[in-house]
């Protein structure tokens, strides 16, 4: 799913930051920006953050191989 961060309320942006789906920079920057995320919220791609694209994978247990796969 794609979420247009620039169209979200402050509360919704805060929720996504607390869930570590988006960064503070993405939440607070101005202009067109968004995030793609999967159904499990483990994988996200931030668009127009401080980098053009930031790919993020969250995996518990320090399992780098599972995160990479």
Q: Are 22 and 35 in contact (CB under 8 A)?
A: yes
The confidence score (pLDDT) of residue 61 equals 86
Confidence of residue 68 (pLDDT cuts 50, 70, 90): confident
The confidence score (pLDDT) of residue 11 equals 97
What pLDDT, in 10s, does the model give residues 15-64? 999 999 999 999 998 899 999 999 998 899 999 988 789 999 988 888 88
Higher-scoring residue by pLDDT: 35, 68: 35
Q: Can you read off the two tokens belonging to residue 15?
A: 């929720």
Query: Terminus-to-terminus CA distance in the chain, angstroms?
Result: 20
Q: Are 54 and 21 in contact (CB under 8 A)?
A: no
The confidence score (pLDDT) of residue 62 equals 86
9: left (phi over 0), alpha (psi -120 to 50) or beta: beta
């Amino acid at each position: 799913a794609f979420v247009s961060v620039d169209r979200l309320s402050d509360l919704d942006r805060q929720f996504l930051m607390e869930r570590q789906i988006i960064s503070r920079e993405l939440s607070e920057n101005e202009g067109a920006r968004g995030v793609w995320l999967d159904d499990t919220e483990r994988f996200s791609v931030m668009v127009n953050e401080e980098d053009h694209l930031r790919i993020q994978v969250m995996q518990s247990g320090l399992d780098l191989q599972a995160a990479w796969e």
